[in-house]
Amino acid sequence: MKLSDFDFDLPEHLIATRPAVPRSSARMLVAQGDQITDATVLDLPDWLEPGDRLVLNDTKVIPARLSGERPRDTAQGPMRAKIEVTLLEPQADGCWAALIKPLKKVKIGETIIFSEDLNARLYKVENGQGLLSFNVQGDDFDAALNAAGAMPLPPYIAGKRPADDRDKEDYQTVFARNIGAVAAPTASLHFDAVLLEALVARGVVFTHVTLHVGAGTFLPVKVEDVTTHKMHAEWGQVSEKAAAEIAATKREGRKVVPVGTTALRLIETAGRGGTITAWQGDTDIFIYPGFTFQVADALMTNFHLPKSTLMMLVSALMGYERVKSIYAHAIAEQYRFFSYGDASLLLPERAERPNTT
């Protein structure tokens, strides 16, 4: 299985830099068996049956991009050098792992000033990352970070425009509640109050799980033999309540539909034993063709980067050749790609479309 098998040509203009407004007005490609239907996200209830369960990732993205200054004394007098920081994940000791540019210019013990209320001291350097100790903690930290930070937009958006205040709302799901992600579970960005109400009216039920999406989600696969790729680890939790709800849906013969690859990877981690159970920890599960799904019956997701692990995941669910045809259709029909782009609902052969007549 070669990396080049998961490559495709994507026209640059199909990369979305802003989301659809309203959220649920985005287009949605529905792949059911050999059929493809062009729909919208607001049509999602029509493709689900009462009792089907959507699994939603309730992680909350932090404004992890910080622009700061490092005060220093020079022969020309006091000066300030610009430092760019991207927070990655909190550590057990209260520090934050971060990407720092330029890291080599900052010495251990030096302070980076981000605002009047927020600064951090470089505590340690490990594996090309800095460990930062901030001057405030808890709610004070959250407030100062929200004021000083910007949303950590993916490279394919950040390369086209800087993050702005709109992104603080656009790049956050409406059900975000557990702080810790530095990238959004983007399929969930399509949900708004109108869609949620329509799903409830249809009899669709919901389960919330948490997977803190890390910056590693954007790391490229660098090995040609994809089976040798090492996934980045991300912290997740499936509560006892969530596991029980999902297990009950499976027993009833209803569909379990994770919204986003993050939710799918998490419930498949918790279901590795064949039955989903409560689970918490770091998962580095890598799903590629040949994987046996224990929990997920379908998937709602956005359109993914060429040669990415997420292309491998959807190929595992739908079949390699089928995904090629789905993506060819999406490109021909001018669907918008990636984090702020349109959605797809992937229903493998075993997941039948309900009778809505």
- Residue 83: give its domain's CATH number: 2.40.10.240
CATH number of the domain to which 294 belongs = 3.40.1780.10
pLDDT above 60: residue 352: no
> Is residue 229 one of the residues assigned to a domain?
yes
pLDDT above 60: residue 77: yes
Q: Are residues 237 and 127 in the same domain?
A: no
Quote the pLDDT of residue 94: 84
Q: Are residues 100 and 47 in the same domain?
A: no
Quote the pLDDT of residue 214: 87
Q: Are residues 140 and 41 in the same domain?
A: no
Instruction: Judge whether 267 and 239 are in contact, CB under 8 Å.
Output: no
Sequence-separated (6 or more) residues with CB below 8 Å from residue 165: none
Task: Please identify, among 99, 117, 148, the residue that sits at the C-terminal boundary of a domain.
Answer: 148
Task: Say whether 25 sits in a helix, a strand or coil.
Answer: helix
Range of weakest confidence among 75-79, 95-99, 275-279:
75-79
> Is residue 284 one of the residues assigned to a domain?
yes
- Quickly state the pLDDT bin for 301 (edges 50, 70, 90): very high
Q: Are residues 53 and 86 in the same domain?
A: no
Quote the pLDDT of residue 72: 76
> Is residue 153 one of the residues assigned to a domain?
no
Average pLDDT score over the chain: 93
Q: Are residues 188 and 282 in the same domain?
A: yes
Q: Are residues 144 and 77 in the same domain?
A: yes
Quote the pLDDT of residue 353: 44
- Closest listed residue to residue 129, CA positions, set 216, 192, 61: 216
Q: Are residues 237 and 117 in the same domain?
A: no
> Is residue 217 one of the residues assigned to a domain?
yes
pLDDT above 80: residue 154: yes
Identify the residue whose tokens are 């020079």.
74
Model pTM? 0.91
pLDDT above 90: residue 76: no
Q: Are residues 302 and 335 in the same domain?
A: yes
Domain, as residue range, for 39: 3-61+169-347
Instruction: Judge whether 99 and 132 are in contact, CB under 8 Å.
Output: no
Q: Return d(Cα 55, Cα 66) in angstroms, integer.
A: 32
User: pLDDT over 70 for what percent of the chain?
Assistant: 96
Helical (H) or strand (E) element with 347: strand 343-347
- The tally of domains found in the chain comes to 2
Q: Are residues 122 and 192 in the same domain?
A: no
The pLDDT of 92-115, averaged and rounded, is 92
> Is residue 291 one of the residues assigned to a domain?
yes
Q: Are residues 220 and 184 in the same domain?
A: yes
Q: Are residues 27 and 112 in the same domain?
A: no
Q: Return d(Cα 251, Cα 247) in angstroms, integer.
A: 6
> Is residue 160 one of the residues assigned to a domain?
no
Quote the pLDDT of residue 357: 35
* The token pair that represents 151 in the structure block: 């949303």
> Is residue 357 one of the residues assigned to a domain?
no
Parallel, antiparallel or unpaired: strands 205-211 and 53-57: parallel
Task: Please identify, among 119, 148, 177, the residue that sits at the C-terminal boundary of a domain.
Answer: 148
The pLDDT of 1-20, averaged and rounded, is 95
Helical (H) or strand (E) element with 322: helix 320-332
Q: Are residues 176 and 144 in the same domain?
A: no
Top mean pLDDT of 93-97, 136-140, 169-173 is at 169-173
> Is residue 313 one of the residues assigned to a domain?
yes
**169-184 pLDDT, tens digit each:** 999 999 999 988 999 9
